[in-house]
Structure 1
Amino acid sequence: MLLNLALAAVLAAGTLTAPDSRDAAPCREPYRVDQRLPNGARWQLCWEMRTIEGLTVTRVVYVPKGRRGVGVLRSGALAQIHVPYDSGEPRYHDIGSLGPSAVPLTAADCPGGRRREQTVCVTTRPRGHAHLKDGYGDPGRRRSAQGHELVVLAAYQVGWYTYIAEWVFGDDGSITPRLGATGSLAGYTTTPKHGWPTGVGHRHFEESHSHNVFWRLDFDIQGRSRDVVEQYDFSGNGTKKRTMVRTRLTHEAKAVSAPMRWWRVLDPKVRNGDGHPVSWEISNSDSSRYRGPAEEAFTHHDVYVTQYRACERLASMNAAPRCADSVDAYAGRERLADPVIWVNVGFHHVARDEDADPMPVHWQGFRVTPRDVTAKNPYGG
């Protein structure tokens, strides 16, 4: 988890202003993924192994069965893994050199799939029931289907931890960015006040800590000229009636997760067969919501919406010339013409005996769900 001096020098030199993939030539093998899933849905995308952020997906297009493709993301990447320990120190920023720390994958790490450049796995796997509807005694009316998903993943060795970064693309049009942490416990010896006893007796305590993971999503629904971000809240807690409140974000914004709060990105001119605007919904309800001290203001919100700037690549420790240091400073009052979404998901790791080597993977992430992308169930059920 150490940001070494050599890396710090690289960041100070301004490598965060690396060329922007949005104007790059279309990708080719082995960086192109074009996968049709059993229900007929298809995902097309490119991937890069960036020096700073590691695995980055670009030019992501969802193609429902029998329909035209819809552009979803111009790019998506990890933007920080902030690891503060409960005693107050240390406080790591683990992203800054993920590409060089990528772990070579074996065939066992990529079951049923294909390894690309030895560090990226592209595979498919079942995701469980897509739907199930009883036929009420009529077998001909029964509807049931099993879903599948495309997975693009990479692993990184950062200090004691091994991180597994996954981009999961469902046959229903959903996208699930998530990060798993495994490897070894850091080995800090602390007191019961800040940790948990592991091993025999009560002589060794593993210190509790948080993993605050940020993702950066540059949505471009069929191009970047008209995208709009909306926040939805449902008032009426403790009452029989609830009211939907929609807030269109016209300027950069900071938001916290709340019960029954979600966001969506839409293009008002791109519509489905029912005439409804095509959009993708962002829900960030599964988070421990860590809030750090004033000097870690980037942890004070769960979702940030900013105007696109090429140099704004990391949620903290950005260190790019002519660019702010962290995402809380990016989100000023600039008018949104090309919005970028930053999502912060926290996990508080309190060690247990089961975490003895090798530590089981603990996952954190969020879900991006299609909303009115197709006029009916993409399975046709």
Structure 2
Amino acid sequence: MLGTMRRFPKTSVAGAGLLALMLAGCTGTANGGEPDPKPSAAAVEQSCGERQQAISRTLSSGAAWAMCWSVDPKLGMVLSDITFVPPGADAIPVISRMSLAQLEVPYDSGKRLTSDITSAGFGGPNMHTITDAECPAERLSIAIPNVGDGSKFGSSPVREVLCSQETDSALSYRSGDLGQVVAKRKQDWQLSTISKVGWYEYVNQVTFGADGSIRPSLGATGDLSPVDYSDAKHGWPVGPGDHDHAASHSHNAVWKIDWALGGESGQKVEQFDAKDTGKLGTDELGKASPIVNGTLTPIPKPASARWTDRRWWRVLAPGKVNADKHPISYQIDMAKTDRFTFVDDAEHHGSDAGYDVAFTNADECQVFATMNRGRCGRGVPEYVELGKDQPLDNVVTWVAVGYHHVPRDEDQSPMEMHWQGFNLLPRDLTSRRVDVPQERESLNGKPEDWDGQMPPKE
């Protein structure tokens, strides 16, 4: 059943094409296939720009995602006005605009370096039409200019370029406590495009979870460079014998996320670290476990940071709280990354100019992570430096994830897809999980009486 119509406040370009996105759909199932009694997500009135299209999906939890999508000649797939709608609740603006901001590919031999976003681009003719072979699901069409943005030269044929697909993402939860097993599988919603630059073909993918999570990722396939062969120090032998060494290289990617939590401003940033104190705690039987202290450190002004074990960051909206009176936020969780410094950043700012994340204030001029043009800086290190005296308020996050590719025989041919990416996890976006089963409706916070199993004593 549809909920009340609610307007999602725009945080990016306004324009034509006002659509009412009916986000109500099938509800999830709980134990034994019984329908989940929670209401599905409310409808959201979404306004997208002239060259954007509205898209939405209700997932297994009963929650829904809605957003606008478009294709930029350089950036490729751009997602904007991203909103999450928990079952039976108001829409929550999450991200104003998100896209790749650079992809640098330096070869270990030192003989090749490309900046694929700014030099070639992931849109235009480099964005390929998809078929049932790449996307056995919904394929969406949009006008793709052959030259630039299509406003001056060339044509803009309408092509199927966006794959919209629901996937089974395994078990969402299971608990056998309190006398009854509750278990449920979940769905993800994947949006992806394919762009070909040189010998590589890239899958630019963003996965939206039924739990409110977001996973931007970049997959690479295609072929090894037919002209980049080196020696044993800079590559790996492929083919017969040990004389042809395909050159190793890196895929250094940066994503840009312009946040909308709580509105266009008023956002804060914090860094969490958990450190071992070197001490052991005690219980009634004596020594128990190592004491690990967790600390939250505010990042009040534009800054860059490196990832280390047990570290994550969050962007929060102090003025917007959930039902438990906790400020809503999203956690930036780094996955596997091969740390790097962009060649352009090192040339202009030194070899220590690298970062895993950086936080700046929104500026429409700051588009690319490197090779940017205009008054606002050449890349992220300059964005941070130029804004270092301003308090963070309208937060943009730059996330850098590297993948060092050492070729292997199995890469020929075509090479198996290899992936890099990171996670954006809701932290206190809602007061509990969005699809609490009926058996756990009364559980929120520390239980007064726990009838379930207790940890064994050793």
Unmatched tracts of structure 2, length 5 or more: 1-9, 16-46, 143-159, 280-289, 438-458
1:132 deviates by 1.4
**Considering only aligned residues, what root-mean-square deviation do their CA atoms show, in Å?**
1.9
Equivalence for 1:317: 371
d(CA) in 2 for partners of 1:111 and 1:257?
Answer: 37
Equivalence for 1:218: 258
d(CA) in 2 for partners of 1:193 and 1:322?
Answer: 41
**Paired residues for 1:50-69 under 5 Å:** 50-69=72-91
**Which of these residues, 245, 255, 260, is aligned with residue 205 of structure 1?**
245
**Which of these residues, 176, 190, 194, is aligned with residue 234 of structure 2?**
194
Q: 1:296 to 1:259 in 2, by over 3 A?
A: farther
- Does residue 27 (structure 1) correspond to residue 48 (structure 2)? The answer is yes
d(CA) in 2 for partners of 1:127 and 1:237?
Answer: 37
d(CA) in 2 for partners of 1:106 and 1:27?
Answer: 26
Higher relative contact order (CA 8 A, sep 6+): 1
- Does residue 84 (structure 1) correspond to residue 106 (structure 2)? The answer is yes
**Paired residues for 1:42-53 under 5 Å:** 42-53=64-75
Q: Secondary structure at the match of 2:331?
A: strand
**Larger mean Cα displacement after TM superposition, 292-301 or 56-65:** 292-301
1:296 deviates by 6.6
Q: Secondary structure at the match of 1:300?
A: coil
Tell me, yes or no, if the aligned pair for 1:302 and 1:344 is still in contact at 8 Å.
yes
Q: Per-residue displacement from partner, 1:176-226 (whole Å, max 9, x unpaired)?
A: 000000001112111011000011111211111111110000011131121
**Which of these residues, 140, 145, 148, is aligned with residue 184 of structure 2?**
145
Equivalence for 1:9: none
Tell me, yes or no, if the aligned pair for 1:259 and 1:285 is still in contact at 8 Å.
no
Tell me, yes or no, if the aligned pair for 2:265 and 2:395 is still in contact at 8 Å.
no
Percent identity over paired residues:
35
d(CA) in 2 for partners of 1:268 and 1:44?
Answer: 24
d(CA) in 2 for partners of 1:166 and 1:238?
Answer: 42
**Paired residues for 1:1-381 under 5 Å:** 22-25=12-15, 26-27=47-48, 31-96=53-118, 97-100=121-124, 101-117=126-142, 118-135=160-177, 138=179, 141-187=180-226, 188-236=228-276, 238-239=278-279, 240-291=290-341, 294-295=346-347, 297=349, 300-318=354-372, 320-332=373-385, 333=388, 334-381=390-437
Q: Please list every run of at least 4 consecutive aligned residues from structure 1 whose deviation after the TM superposition is greater than 3 angstroms.
A: 296-299
Q: Per-residue displacement from partner, 1:68-112 (whole Å, max 9, x unpaired)?
A: 111100000001111111122312111122211101111222222
Unmatched tracts of structure 1, length 5 or more: 1-19
Query: What is the one-letter code of the residue matched to 2:202?
Result: Y
Tell me, yes or no, if the aligned pair for 1:131 and 1:144 is still in contact at 8 Å.
yes
Query: What is the one-letter code of the residue matched to 2:182?
Result: R
Q: Secondary structure at the match of 1:95?
A: helix
1:23 deviates by 3.1
**Larger mean Cα displacement after TM superposition, 168-177 or 197-206:** 197-206
Tell me, yes or no, if the aligned pair for 1:258 and 1:285 is still in contact at 8 Å.
no
Equivalent pairs, count: 358
1:300 deviates by 1.0
Equivalence for 1:13: none
Tell me, yes or no, if the aligned pair for 2:13 and 2:48 is still in contact at 8 Å.
no
Q: Per-residue displacement from partner, 1:36-68 (whole Å, max 9, x unpaired)?
A: 112211000011101120101000000111221
**Larger mean Cα displacement after TM superposition, 196-205 or 340-349:** 196-205
Tell me, yes or no, if the aligned pair for 1:45 and 1:58 is still in contact at 8 Å.
yes
**Larger mean Cα displacement after TM superposition, 80-89 or 256-265:** 80-89
